[in-house]
A and B are shown apart, each in its own frame.
Chain A
Amino acid sequence: LNAAPGRAPRQQVRFLPTPSPGGGGAVELVAARVPVLADHPLVRGPRFKKLKIGAGHRLDVKASGVFVLGIGHGNKLLTDLHNCHLTKVYTVGGLFGKATDDFSDTGNLVEKTTFDHITREKLERILAVIQGTNQKALLMYSNIDMKTQEAYELAVKGLIRPVGKSPPIITAVRCLQFALPEFQLEIHCLHETQQYLRKMVHEIGLELKSSAVCTQVRRTRDGVFTVDDALPRTQWNLQSIQEAIRNCQLKVETELEKTLG
């Protein structure tokens, strides 16, 4: 970063004494633009000595996916984005037949069960109920008085969002793939942790009278940032980072304006 050409030094108008073109001895003041000495690179030193980098919503060691970082002024935008309470989208992979103590496939085995009675229909029924109960939680934590017309209008548009802290709420679940014993879900949620999602997979297994463990948790969207905007490991260099920041600026600004006003 420091090797990149920095800002041009500021110019100032100074009245410099120059020997007058007339006779010797008399000194005239001539206005001239000269660079300010304080801006000289040798005086100023390297432009960036430290960089403030902040992290967005947490991501587990066992999980993968989009992870948002803010640099410098971006840290303030990060707090604003957090207060927007936007949903995150995860792709969660699960496996029927096993139950472990930490709900993932690397934990200690607790129980093995049969799973051949499970069909896609049964799974989708359970997912519908999960969505339903979380819908109620969404409305309750949004601090809106149910008796007002405003509450009705927001509910129709689907714009009810929790204000402030709340337990994890799942706004939508969908089954992407189902091939016994594996299955994959797409989950839209708020205020959650990856362990909560793994626990949910375990509970789905219990509800279907079997058991399930979570094999994969991958965040595909975090608020406005999707997998397309994210930089893979090969692109962790200055050029790509700067380009990515430029591309996302507009999106972030519009989202913040829309939500926080």
Chain B
Amino acid sequence: RRGLCGAAGPPSTRQLREAEEAAPVFQYAGKAARRKDRVFVWGFSYSGALGVPSFVRPDEGWKKPRRIQATPYRLETEEKISSAACGYGFTLLASKTRDITKVWGMGLNKDSQLGFQRSRRDQTKGYEYVLEPSPIPLPLEKPQQTRVLQVSCGRAHSLVLTDSEGVFTMGNNSYGQCGRKVVEDEIYSGSHLIHQLKEFDSRVVQVVCGQDHSLFRTKKGTVYACGWGADGQTGLGHYNITSVPTKLHGDIAGVNIIQVSSYGDCCLAVSDEGDVFGWGNSEYLQLASVTETTQVNVPRHLPFKIGKVKEAACGGTGNVVLTEEGNVFVWGYGILGKGPNLIETAVPEMIPPSLFGQSDFSPDIRVAHVRCGLSQFAALTNRGELFVWGKNLRGCLGTGRMEDQYFPWRVTVPGEVVDVACGVDHMVSMVRSFT
């Protein structure tokens, strides 16, 4: 006797096709889905420079504090960060927004390099370590119109560049690096003072912090400097302190400079014609191609025959330049990126492009930007990949390993890296997601 339902049997092709067509369609990303901008940090976290408080003070009792973040870690930010800078144990993040809060800082604040961060326990004192990105109150005249273009950090001072209100400086001023007169026995910790600099020959378009000096590049192509000058890093022709931004002459007088760079005590400038000028410390052969003196206090033209230079970056002991063809040249002292045998050179040596991923299979990979930390180098390709090499101080390279890296190595970041800022023992990168 037949039951009411027959045996099912394997579904026929027609049934399968109908089931498939009737299945619901899910949408995860619409046509207007935009790529998201993210910030990734890695390196030494106990100074608070990574901006993740749970690394220093874990929120659960059983969790252990994380001293070093060896691989990129996503940092949640409220706004899209357009510029970031890493100092010696602290970080500044800036956004191009018109809101009142434009700059956030985290890390060491013993010299008020992050402005005054009012402590919640004692309203009169400030925090000495800031563990998460905290807004920095800038004394702007028109806070809802001015935009912050760029930030830069040195050893214990920071510079904030705005589009219409000049440059704001804060932090340690024992050598005049903040552009104001040195006050004897000034206490920098918990200071509210943020100085504003407006007297330049034209609008300032780039600010760069060396270890204890500051460089300003204006639209007309001139360079101003102030701060410590014992190694000649101010380039003003003497070895004294300068507390007011003063124009540089020497070989760059009359030259239209399009980029300046410094992080330690050596400085490099690139002109619009592709020439490289250098001044400052030359103990590590950074300027040995023009002079044997170890301190150069006037900008000198470096006669390198490597092609038209597009970008230069200075580290503590080594320098790197990028030419128009997309080749990377390194010189100086330390781990330069050509294996353990190349420790020092006074003449730039090229790093083979095959190390950045160029091969017969993908011949159009070029390096787009180069950056320097104190003893690390970073290169960004046009495909959005980040390559790092140098001394791996407290995991700052982000490779996941603790060993030094003697040739360019990819950092795995889930996204296309747009920009990276290198510090002494940590790095911050601005990344756009893939989809």
Contacts and interface: CB of A to CB of B under 8 A. Distances in A.
A114 B359 contact: no
Given A109-B20, A207-B434, A135 B410 contact: yes
B24 interface: yes
Interface string A108-151: 01011110111000100110110111011000000000111101
Given A109-B20, A146-B405, A158-B354, A172 B361 contact: yes
A68 interface: no
A93 to B, nearest CB: 19
Contact of B340 (A128, A136, A147, A209): A147
A156 B352 contact: yes
B354 A117 contact: no
B26 A112 contact: yes
Contacts of B355: 155-156
Interface string B399-425: 000011111011010101000000000
A135 B338 CA distance: 18
Contact of A112 (B25, B338, B406, B410): B25
A129 B434 contact: yes
Given A109-B23, A172-B361, A209 B385 contact: no
Contact of A209 (B29, B352, B359, B416): B29
A231 B412 CA distance: 42
A207 B24 CA distance: 20
Interface residues of B, number: 38
Nearest to B11: A108
Contact of B412 (A109, A122, A132): A132
B2 interface: no
A136 B412 contact: yes
Classify chain A: how many residues form its interface, as a range. Answer: 35 or more
B33 A117 contact: yes
A125 B26 contact: no
B129 to A, nearest CB: 34
Nearest to B405: A146
A131 B361 CA distance: 11
A112 B403 contact: no
B407 A155 contact: yes
Nearest to B434: A125
Interface in B302-329: none
A188 B416 CA distance: 23
B359 A158 contact: yes
Nearest to A133: B412
Contacts of B414: 129
Contact of B23 (A112, A118, A133, A172): A112
A149 B340 contact: yes
B385 A126 contact: no
B416 A174 contact: no
A209 B19 contact: no
Contacts of A131: 357, 362
A239 B349 CA distance: 57
Interface string B331-371: 00000001111000000000010110101011000000000
Contact of B435 (A122, A135, A147): A122
B385 A117 contact: no
A142 to B, nearest CB: 14
A112 B24 contact: yes
A152 interface: yes
Contacts of B384: 125, 128
B385 A128 contact: yes
A183 to B, nearest CB: 15
A112 B19 CA distance: 12
Interface string A151-166: 1110111100000000
Nearest to A124: B383
B354 A114 contact: no
A11 B339 CA distance: 65
Given A129-B412, A148-B340, 15 more contacts: A114-B27, A118-B435, A125-B434, A128-B385, A133-B412, A135-B410, A136-B410, A149-B339, A151-B406, A152-B406, A156-B355, A172-B359, A208-B435, A209-B33, A210-B28
Q: Which 3 A-B pairs have the closest CB atoms?
A: A152-B339, A209-B29, A209-B28
18 contacts: A111-B26, A114-B29, A133-B410, A136-B412, A146-B406, A147-B340, A149-B341, A151-B407, A152-B339, A152-B407, A155-B355, A156-B407, A157-B354, A172-B359, A174-B361, A207-B434, A208-B434, A210-B28
Interface of B: 19-20, 23-31, 33, 338-341, 352, 354-355, 357, 359, 361-362, 383-385, 403-407, 409-410, 412, 414, 416, 434-435
Interface of A: 97-98, 109, 111-114, 116-118, 122, 125-126, 128-129, 131-133, 135-136, 146-149, 151-153, 155-158, 172, 174, 188, 207-210
